[in-house]
Structure 1
Amino acid sequence: MLVTNAVQPGGEQAKAFFSGPEDGRFVMVNLLKFKPFAEYPDGSDAHITGAEAYARYTVEVRKLLASYGGRSLYAGAVTGILLGEVGELWDMIALAEYPSLAAMSEMMRCPGMQAISHHRHAGLAGQLNIRTRPHVRNEVVAEAP
């Protein structure tokens, strides 16, 4: 399995994601890897960690998320792995619920997001975003062997 962290999706990847079927609420799993120190384009705040820069983004993105009908469900440090193997663990996991793909897309393009994205870029070395949908009752889910 190939795992590649990124800070921004490529154009085709974003287009495919947002043109997928609209099936209501979903939870985005964010696996986050931070830079050792923040890297702002103007060189400011080079003394703070990438996690601290990302925390600035988090404070504001939670407000935006709520204004678009979503919510932050959980955030915590990754402290270990029990099963499987990765070359390097992520630093943090965050779960965010969105009411729809359309709401997420609109939020990603809004002026408020543009105003805070520099903190995200300054702090993140890369991440994985995994869209999940709630388990539907009476739906058969294959169990792992």
Structure 2
Amino acid sequence: MNVVNAVLPPMTQAMEFFGAPEDGPFVMVNLLKFKPRAEYPDGADAHLTGREAYARYGVEVTKLVEALGGAMRYSGEVTGLMIGDVEELWDMVALAEYPSLAAFREMAMSPAMHAIEHHRAAGLAGQLNIKTRPLTG
């Protein structure tokens, strides 16, 4: 298995994700890796860690998720690995529940999201976003 962290998806991957059929509520599993130091394009807040810059994003994105009827279900620090092997562990795991793909797309494309994305980019070295849906029956 090849694992590649990224901060933004390639356009083809984003189009495929958002072009998928609507299949109801889902939980996004976010595996997050932070930069040692925040990297804002203008050099501001260079005293912050990547985790601290991302925390700014986290506070604001939580409001956006809740406004569209979703919820932040869990966030926690990665402290170990029991099964498997990866070159480097992620720093944090976060689970966000969304009511629909359409709601997630609306949030992702919104001016409010655009206004906070610089904190995300300043703090993240990379991530995996894994869309999951509840098992039925």
Q: Does TM-score exceed 0.5, indicating one fold? A: yes
Shift of 1:3: 0.2
Q: Match of 1:72?
A: 72
Match of 1:120 in 2: 120
Equivalent residue number for residue 13 of structure 1: 13
Query: How many residues align structurally?
Result: 137
* Identity of matched residues, %: 67
SS at match of 1:129: strand
1:23-61 deviation per Cα after TM superposition (whole angstroms, max 9, x unaligned): 100000000000000000000111110000000000000
Matches within 5 A, 1:98-113: 98-113=98-113
- Can you give the 5+ residue segments of structure 1 that lack an aligned partner in the other structure? 138-145
Gaps of 5+ in 2: none
* 2:26 partner letter: F
Alpha-carbon shift at residue 21 of structure 1 (Å): 1.4
State the match for 2:133 in structure 1.
133
Q: Is 1:53 the counterpart of 2:35 in the alignment?
A: no
1:69-104 deviations in Å (ceiling 9; x for gaps): 111000000000000000000000000000111100
RMSD over aligned CA atoms reads 0.4
Aligned to 1:88: 88
How is 1:26-45 mapped onto 2 (pairs within 5 angstroms)? 26-45=26-45
Q: Quick check: which has more Rg, 1 or 2?
A: 1
